[in-house]
Structure 1
Amino acid sequence: MRRYPRWLWCIPMVAASLYGESYELGRGFSLGDSLNVGGYFSTEFESSRTRDRFTADDVAVMAYGDLTPALSYLAELEAVGFYQKDFTDGNENSDRKFHIERLYGDLWVNDAFNVRFGKQITPIGYWNREPINVLRDTTSNPLYSKLLFPKFLTGIDVNGYVPGADNLNYHFFAQSTHDMDEEYINIPNTHFYGLALEKEFSWEWNGGGSVGEYIASAGGERTRFVQANLKYENEACVVTAEAIAARTAYRVGGDDDTYAGYLQGLYRFTPQHAAVARYEYYDRRHDDYRDHIGIIGYSYRPIYPVSLKGEYQWHSQNDENRFLFSFAVLF
């Protein structure tokens, strides 16, 4: 995967000057229905017993638009760990290589049948479908969302509302090839299939679940999983729960189960200020690793596309307790 040249950063500015179109924070430059250009970045500071570290974590550029009334697209390139400074030992490093995070097209047929093709977010649960830091309520991600299934798939997602079923949405997704950018996926694979369902019970409640199977490229282990999610939301409060049970067939040691989940609550004092708390559980039987994680944090959004967040994490593995702070902008 080659490095993307520095002039990549100039695309939004050059396009805006050529076309003279408007800019809106959070939506980027609008150059017509067929092309919108924007991006985002986030920074993070971590402080623990063993480390104090600053990271310019995510730097990304995006383009999206409608090519026809039935066909749209999105392209997203991202560099992770763009710059890092460890104040404990004074080391600095950077990785300015841009990776393909998403590159897909959407073909809209009708409410019951649509197709997304290319590299895309795996349509499971809530957390995984919000890949941008600024849109999330905490700086950290639950272990549930990082270790139990591929976060992205390079393949196809057939989706829509089930005919005759009230507000029941489905996703059937499949991958049988290598990822577009195997350096930028948590679990590289060439075999990933699943079905996800989600239902709106009322304007405050929705829930769903998924089943799936994947085979990791590195070790060839086959994992099958069952997942469930539930959310309650009103103007002031959001409560989210997700859980997953996975069984992996290891080449050595037979089959073993992994369980993970989280329960998170957020309370908005005002549209700008919110407090958040989360409990996580992770239990990987294969190597007898367990962790209970408690998180309490605060989120400040002066405007929606800008966020400042802080949190403290308690781990049952005591040496992993830490403070996290982040600043993120969607532009």
Structure 2
Amino acid sequence: MKKSHQLHFKEFLYTFEMKTFKVMFVFFILLKQLMANEPSPYGYEIPNTPINIGGYIDAIYDDVASEKFVFDDVALLLSARYNRFDFLSEMEISELSLDGKSKGSSDIRINVERFQLTYALSDTENLIAGRFNSDIGYWNQAPINILQATTTKPHIFESIFPEHTTGLMYQNTISDEDSFSLTVQHSEDIGQKDKSLIVDRHFAMAYYKVYEDFSLRFATGFYRDKDFHNEAYYLGFGSEYEMDDFTLQAEFYTQSYDDEQQSYNAYLQSVWNFSPKHDVVLRLEQYNEQGVDDTIVLVGYVYRPTVNTALKTEYIQHSNHLPLNRFVSSFSVLF
């Protein structure tokens, strides 16, 4: 066999082995969760320490993506609690393809998704420092795929406000029914650029109100994007009605960008738990950005064999962007 043919064969064999290993690794973790008689607790408690180590894997199939199958997130979670302090670190590799590339690059980078320290000022007040999920809206309160109703996020969370903030947040639970938060960022974002907004300024106020099965959220804020220093203001509200087997959620946000461009985003989502471990999801979205109107319809199904495992499939239909019409499936494991 010629040298060049030998090299090509070795490269093929190496690539095949790596792909097989990754698929088998994820399959093993998924099988372990599915075969568990009882839902396993999250993470591993290190004996005689306040430290917990865990992680999660999200594998996604998207029939119109250039890489149809990717490990969308491979993450390590580390948490610790001591007296009034609570620490959380979430480091992840995103869009890892079967050929070992992350976001199309062979240079694998670890992204800081969350890195936060919470100090309990009192029983009702917290001060959070670091990089954390912005306290805006309902969807942003469920920070990882396995906790969310669908694999894909509503469009509202890619363009209206920063999904993450690197700075300080003050939270106050006024009563069982009322709470609010104040967020301040005046620094570079320590996370890498992804589908969400990356900013170096962010100031926000949020309010949360609960009425038994019904709740409301209001938020307003200002941010400046990191790359072009364009400034934007946003304002919005959301509501959620939750029963034992049915949840209805709606959010509406509007944005003023550099005092010139006005945009709005809205969605209405219902989740029906028609039997134990099985959900059906219907989401309707409407947005207008830079003169582009689009209506999005999503129909999805979710199967949760255990509390630590979720298998989802959904179809997304766009009114104006035919290339974006697609099927998306995923499975997620929290360990």
TM-score (norm 1): 0.83
Per the TM alignment, residue 184 of structure 1 is displaced from its structure 2 partner at its CA by 5.1
Aligned-partner SS, 2:152: coil
The CA deviation string for residues 131-188 of structure 1, in whole angstroms up to 9 with x for no partner, is 21111111111110111111111111100123xx661110100100001124357322
Matched with 2:165 is 153
1:30–1:52 CA distance, 2 compared to 1 (3 A): closer
Per the TM alignment, residue 271 of structure 1 is displaced from its structure 2 partner at its CA by 2.5
1:166–1:307 CA distance, 2 compared to 1 (3 A): closer
Matched with 1:28 is 43
The CA deviation string for residues 250-303 of structure 1, in whole angstroms up to 9 with x for no partner, is xxxx6111100110001002231110100011111x3x2221000101000001
Max Rg structure? 2
The CA deviation string for residues 177-221 of structure 1, in whole angstroms up to 9 with x for no partner, is 00112435732222100100001111x111111000001121221
Q: Distance in 1 between the 2:245 and 2:214 partners?
A: 14
| Equivalent in 299, 304, 317 of residue 302 of structure 2 | 299
- Give the RMSD, CA atoms, in angstroms: 2.0
1:253-292 equivalent positions in 2, closer than 5 A = 255-284=260-289, 286=290, 288-292=291-295
Q: Distance in 2 between the 1:135 and 1:174 partners?
A: 26
Matched with 1:58 is 73
Q: Distance in 2 between the 1:181 and 1:46 partners?
A: 25
Per the TM alignment, residue 93 of structure 1 is displaced from its structure 2 partner at its CA by 6.2
Q: Tell me whether 1:41 sits opposite 2:67 in the alignment.
A: no
Contact 2:67 2:97 in 1 (8 A): no
The CA deviation string for residues 18-56 of structure 1, in whole angstroms up to 9 with x for no partner, is xxxxxx7351101256100000010111124x8671111
| Equivalent in 308, 311, 318 of residue 308 of structure 1 | 311
Per the TM alignment, residue 321 of structure 1 is displaced from its structure 2 partner at its CA by 0.8
1:170-185 equivalent positions in 2, closer than 5 A = 170-183=180-193
Contact 2:138 2:217 in 1 (8 A): no
The CA deviation string for residues 56-95 of structure 1, in whole angstroms up to 9 with x for no partner, is 1100001102122x1110011011012257xxxxxx8666
Contact 2:158 2:197 in 1 (8 A): no
1:1-331 equivalent positions in 2, closer than 5 A = 25-31=40-46, 32=48, 34-48=50-64, 53-68=68-83, 70-83=84-97, 96-162=108-174, 167-183=177-193, 186-202=196-212, 204-249=213-258, 255-284=260-289, 286=290, 288-316=291-319, 317-331=321-335
Q: Distance in 2 between the 1:208 and 1:45 partners?
A: 33
Contact 1:83 1:93 in 2 (8 A): no
Amino acid at match of 1:143: H
Amino acid at match of 1:58: D
Aligned-partner SS, 2:97: strand
1:259–1:217 CA distance, 2 compared to 1 (3 A): same
Q: Distance in 2 between the 1:183 and 1:52 partners?
A: 19
Contact 2:158 2:195 in 1 (8 A): no
Per the TM alignment, residue 224 of structure 1 is displaced from its structure 2 partner at its CA by 0.4
Moved more, 297-306 or 187-196: 187-196
Q: Which structure: greater helix fraction?
A: 2
Q: Distance in 1 between the 2:106 and 2:282 partners?
A: 32
Amino acid at match of 1:63: L
Unaligned runs of 5+ in 1: 1-23, 86-91
1:219–1:84 CA distance, 2 compared to 1 (3 A): farther
Aligned-partner SS, 1:301: strand
Q: Distance in 1 between the 2:73 and 2:227 partners?
A: 26
Amino acid at match of 1:265: S
Aligned-partner SS, 1:146: helix
Contact 1:28 1:38 in 2 (8 A): yes
Q: Distance in 2 between the 1:46 and 1:214 partners?
A: 32
Q: Distance in 2 between the 1:173 and 1:93 partners?
A: 34
Aligned length: 292
